[in-house]
Structure 1
Amino acid sequence: MRISRSTVFATALGMAVAAGFMTQAVADEFPSKDVQYVIPFGPGGESDISARLQQKYFEEITGEQLVIQYMPGGGGAVAWSQLSDMPADGHAIMGSNMPHIILKPMDKDVGFATEGIKNFYYFHYSPDAIIVRNDSPFETLDDLIQAADDAPGTVTFSGSGTYSANDVAHTRFQQLADVTTTYIPFKGTGAAVTALLGGQVQAEWGYTTVAANHQDKLRMLAVAAEERHPMFPDVPTFKELGYDMVGGAYRGMAVPEGTPVEIQQRLSDIFQQINQNPAFQQKMQDLGFVLIDVPLEEMPEFMAEQRRVYEETARELGLID
């Protein structure tokens, strides 16, 4: 029997439409079981804190559990290098952090490429901030800048590692303020705070979340946000002081390559709904976070802009020519 070309085309089209309906039906029923949420760091950090706050609302929306697991190592690289091996059905997601996922692959082979991290939602950031002890002689940002001008390199900062948001902020600030200071990388925010509290450094490149957790011992001189943080109405933004700095440690979520776009959209919608919950928003604000809303459809433009910004810093750090 001879089958016409039109019959073959109609059959193929029908199969494609049917597959599309099946995929959408699966997405409409998603999730059908608990969702594994891998944090690419150890417990207790800001990624972990926000994930635990999301758990309650995820269950209220979906009826399923958001199960948190940890995969620390290499500043997140160990986990991101294994993302592609996870099931691509939406029931396995992973925390996605910037600038880490952009800067780390520029430095060396870390087992993953930025393009391989399929982000479906970015939901908050911890704004960079210059933090000092309450007894610091630096009352204002101008005080610190004057000290750096008078003796280049003698003003010391702690920060959470190399090629981190803190490192990026330090590099950018030196450019904008035309000063030279000394940045000392520590293994994580906690160690950087300890160094500041212990007097090993004069200041810290930290975050609003650090100031929120240590209000009795530390204070901020300036914050890299578009507007003053509600918790710290007396702390000016860098922009107010004449320095075009907005940024920090951005956090979102990603899935393995091959995860159907309908499932990615459903995940994006779920976490966007969580982000819009007033109770959740208040809890995040009280911890010093700043919420953002970057759903799946806006992700390409968002990532392109972030890459552009971080590539400028990468040139200053010597990662690229």
Structure 2
Amino acid sequence: MKKLTLIVVSMLSAVLVLAACGADAGGSGNAENYPSESITYSIPFDPGGQSDVEARRQQPYLEESLGQDVMIQYKPGGGGSVGWSELIGKDPDGHFISGINIPHIILQPLANDDTGYQTEDIVPAAIFQATPIGIAVSKDSDIESLEALVNKAKESPGSITVAGSGRYSGHHIALLQLQDLAGIDMQYVPFDGAAPSIQAFLGGNAEVIFGNSSDLIKYEDDMNILAIGSEKTFKPLPDVPTFKELGYDMTPGIDRGVAVPPETNQEVIDTLETAFLDILDEEGVEDEMYNEGFEPKRMGHEESLEYIEQKTEEYSRILENVEGD
């Protein structure tokens, strides 16, 4: 009998050990010991872009605060959708995270039923940066203000060409929103990326451009920037009014953050939220962002969720208005 009892006890112990190992390997993992291995930080774009630049800045700070190696990988394709489709299928243990961009993660599912993910699948841990989008004309243009541009567009509907990066992108939605608020119609000319759109505009192939703040700063001497999409005066462009200051309730921009797979443990999300937002307190980091044309942003998990919901409602209304025309 003693021998049988020992066998049963040994079997139960083995089962419990296996169950514990299984719990740590899948699901939400062991949040108390997080992170227990290196973290893959996926960038759903090509190397060298703005998302990559920020991830490289964050990498050493994350490794120090989390105590693990942070490996940056690139998963370009579909304007980010390939990478975000991969994210939602990963184990929710916090060891695979992905950079996210707004409005991309909202507009893609709204405009296309086959993106491979839905906005609600994306679980943000934090939003840490923004690239405000501004509107500009060439230096030799007779348009000297946003009001003058709106008046000209009203006089000649559809005659003004506007360069931007992609369709159903941050630039495109900025144009749609301005047209909706101002009651005007302009002709959008999409290019395959921000750099080609800037070069086309500087080459005289479009009268107006919606551009990223980083590009507008770089080519500031070659254009007249009429408005910028920041909430308040944008530090690197102190003389440029915001859209809001000019009477248009819009803050176009590209927000960057980090997300985890669905069903990730809240403690893991909290750990990542703290790690990413604490970087903004490191000496010189915010100044570096401003110098590069970016805007520091501080949104934790809950605030990011609310922000994405707010932007989803905002963009849905704009697209409904366009489709209804």
Fold match (TM-score > 0.5): yes
Alignment partner, residue 101 of structure 2: 97
TM-score by length of 1: 0.86
Counterpart code for 1:290: E
Moved more, 125-134 or 166-175: 125-134
1:130 aligns with 2:135: yes
Structure 1 residues 304-315: aligned runs within 5 Å = 304-315=309-320
Corresponding position: 1:144 with 2:145: no
Deviation at 1:281, TM superposition (A): 0.8
1:163 aligns with 2:164: no
| C-alpha deviation, 1:272, in angstroms | 1.0
Q: How many residues align?
A: 302
Counterpart AA for 1:90? G
- Which one of the candidate residues 252, 255, 263 is aligned to 2:260? 255
How big is the shift at 1:24?
11
- 1:24–1:262 contact (8 Å) kept in structure 2: no
Q: CA deviation at 1:29?
A: 4.2
Give the alignment's TM-score, normalised by structure 2. Answer: 0.85
Shift of 1:307: 1.6
CA contact under 8 A between 2:124 and 2:305: conserved in structure 1? no
SS at match of 2:140: coil
Residues 131 and 212, structure 2, Cα contact 8 Å, conserved in 1: yes
SS at match of 2:220: coil
Question: 1:154 & 1:95 partners in 2: Cα distance?
Answer: 38
Give the counterpart of 2:82 among 78, 94, 105. 78
Give me the whole-angstrom Cα distance separating, in 2, the residues matched to 1:24 and 1:234. Answer: 49
- Which amino acid in structure 2 is aligned with residue 75 of structure 1? G
| CA distance in 1: counterparts of 2:78 and 2:28, whole angstroms | 37
Unmatched segments (≥5 aa) in structure 2: 1-18
How far apart in 2 are the matches of 1:210 and 1:65? 32
- The CA deviation at 1:31 is 2.9
Task: Find the counterpart in structure 1 of residue 248 from structure 2.
Answer: 243
Q: 1:150/1:299 Cα in 2 relative to 1: closer, same or farther (>3 Å)?
A: closer
CA deviation map 1:228-281 (0-9, x unaligned): 111111101111111111131111111112322211110111001012334111
Deviation per residue, 1:168-201 (Å, 9 max, x gap)? 1101101122221111111111111111111111
Aligned partner of 1:280: which letter?
V
User: Once the 2 structures are TM-superposed, how far is the Cα of residue 59 of structure 1 from its aligned partner?
Assistant: 2.8
Contact 1:103/1:314 (<8 A) preserved: no
SS in 1 for 2:153: helix
Give 2:191's aligned amino acid: F
CA pair 129-280 structure 1, distance change in 2 beyond 3 A: same
Does the residue aligned with 2:72 lie in a helix, a strand or coil? strand
Q: How much does 1:25 deviate? A: 10
- 1:32 maps to 2:22: no
Distance 2:118 2:32 in 1: 31
- Is the 1:228–1:237 contact (alpha carbons within 8 Å) kept by the matching residues of 2? yes
Residue type of the alignment partner of 1:307: T
Q: CA contact under 8 A between 2:231 and 2:242: conserved in structure 1?
A: yes
* Cα distance per residue 1:47-71 (max 9 Å; x no partner): 1222122123223323433322211
Task: Give me the whole-angstrom Cα distance separating, in 1, the residues matched to 2:68 and 2:307.
Answer: 30
Instruction: Name 1:230's counterpart in structure 2.
Output: 235
CA contact (8 A) 2:28 2:263 kept: no
Q: Which residue of the partner structure matches residue 265 of structure 1? A: 270
Q: Is the 8 A contact 1:222 1:237 kept in 2?
A: yes
Q: Which of the numbers 107, 110, 115 marks the counterpart of 1:106?
A: 110
- 2:61 aligns to what SS in structure 1? helix
Q: What is residue 293 of structure 1 aligned with on the other side? A: 298
- Quick one: which of 47, 55, 62 aligns to 1:58? 62
Identity among equivalent positions (%) equals 39
Q: Which residue of 1 aligns with 2:210?
A: 205
Q: Does the CA contact (< 8 Å) of 1:211 and 1:219 recur in 2?
A: no
Q: How does 1:5-16 map to 2 (within 5 A)?
A: none
- Give, in angstroms, the shift of residue 131 of structure 1: 2.1
Matched residue SS, 2:211: strand
Give ranges in structure 1 of 5+ residues lacking alignment: 1-14
Q: SS at the partner of 2:188?
A: strand
Larger radius of gyration: 2
Paired AA for residue 155 in structure 2: D
Q: How many Å separate the matches in 2 of 1:73 and 1:247?
A: 23
